[in-house]
Amino acid sequence: MNIRPKHLVEGDTVGIVALGGPFAMEYLPEKLALLESLGLKVKFGETVTLSGKYLAGTDDERLNDLHNMFRDPEVKAIFNLRGGYGAARILDRIDYQLLTENPKIFWGFSDVTCFHVAFQEYSDLVTFHGPMLSSVGASELSDISKRMFQQLFTPFEIQYDENLTPLKTLIPGSVRGEITGGNLTRLVNTLGTKFEVDVKGKIVLLEDIGESMEAIDSMLNQLRLSRKLQEAAGFVIGNFTDINGGTLEEVWTLVEEYLKPLGKPAVAGFMIGHCEPNIAIPLGVEAILDADLRVLRILPGVEY
């Protein structure tokens, strides 16, 4: 069973890091408004002010920032400022024992998927798939998305059904298992490495942005050939945004084409990923996916 971090209380200090791409500092104040409204104090990692061609500083600087945030007893949670690219470059140098001994809330998505997968595998740590701070300006984040931050303060079971957004059953059935996954591209990037995503008996979340139909097809086929689709227990299809040469409904049809022969329960239409609202969920905890009723229930991600 994975380790749930302690829940937050008002007045706690949280760390902000840029472990992938750099961020334009002039936009930072408005992005911190949400955390401040939650009564949290903020501590910036050194990477927040760093920039390069497409990364926030060097690999050493991003690695040290990650380690320092987990070492710092004052920091109770770590929020990723933005995604982009860069997580996978430091995976093989992370002190995973440090993370296990200092479990903390770790929040982000997209490129952060690499960290989600590695932290669950090598640190047994529950993490959170939620909006980056680069997308949480007061004028951009919906009330639904904002409410999802409350799961970090008061542990509650998440029930995602059609009261939130319309859902579509791709493959019927019901399944229980640990939920994992994230960005499709980054999951496929792990294949053939030490950090290959473990999906055996698990419910797998898939989402992506800016990919062509051919690329999505190719990545699903790669998961099929590597037997990841066969090993999984069920599928939560999050949002696919800015699809090149296709529509969201065509992506669902493509996913159904790959999953139908396997008979694994699958539901599409979840607003999880590069979208608004972007419903935040914990990864590495038990969940129930009922494709017949179109309901996803997920246990709390923090300790009571």
Residue 90, CB-side half-sphere exposure with 13 Å CA sphere: 26
Classify 197 as helix, strand or coil. coil
Q: Is residue 303 part of a domain?
A: no
Looking at 61, 121, 178, 207, which residue is catalytic?
A: 207
Question: Is 207 annotated in the active site?
Answer: yes
Owning domain of residue 73 = 13-152
Query: What CATH number did the domain enclosing 277 receive?
Result: 3.50.30.60
Q: How far apart are CA 16 and CA 14, in angstroms?
A: 7
Indicate whether 109 and 210 sit together in one domain. Answer: no
Q: What is the pLDDT of residue 138?
A: 45
pLDDT, the chain, mean: 94
Q: Is residue 195 part of a domain?
A: yes
Q: How far is CA 259 from CA 50, 51, 160, 219, in A?
A: 43, 41, 22, 13
Indicate whether 224 and 116 sit together in one domain. Answer: no
Closest CA relative to residue 265, chosen from 200, 153, 194, 168: 168
Q: How confident is the model at residue 304 (pLDDT cuts 50, 70, 90)?
A: confident
**Given a cut of 60, is residue 136 above it in pLDDT?**
no
Lowest mean pLDDT among 133-137, 167-171, 277-281, 282-286: 133-137
- Which of 94, 121, 152 is where one domain is finished? 152
**Given a cut of 80, is residue 240 above it in pLDDT?**
yes
Indicate whether 146 and 162 sit together in one domain. Answer: no
Arithmetic mean of pLDDT, 152-164? 97
Question: Is 157 annotated in the active site?
Answer: no
Q: What is the pLDDT of residue 135?
A: 62
Q: Which residue has the higher pLDDT, 9 or 48?
A: 9
pTM above 0.85, yes or no: yes
Indicate whether 169 and 143 sit together in one domain. Answer: no
Looking at 7, 116, 129, 274, which residue is catalytic?
A: 274
Looking at 7, 110, 129, 211, which residue is catalytic?
A: 110
| Inter-helix orientation angle 213-225/248-259, to 10° | 20
Beta bridge partners of 286: 178
- Which of 97, 122, 152 is where one domain is finished? 152
Q: Please give the structure tokens belonging to residue 213.
A: 């139909």
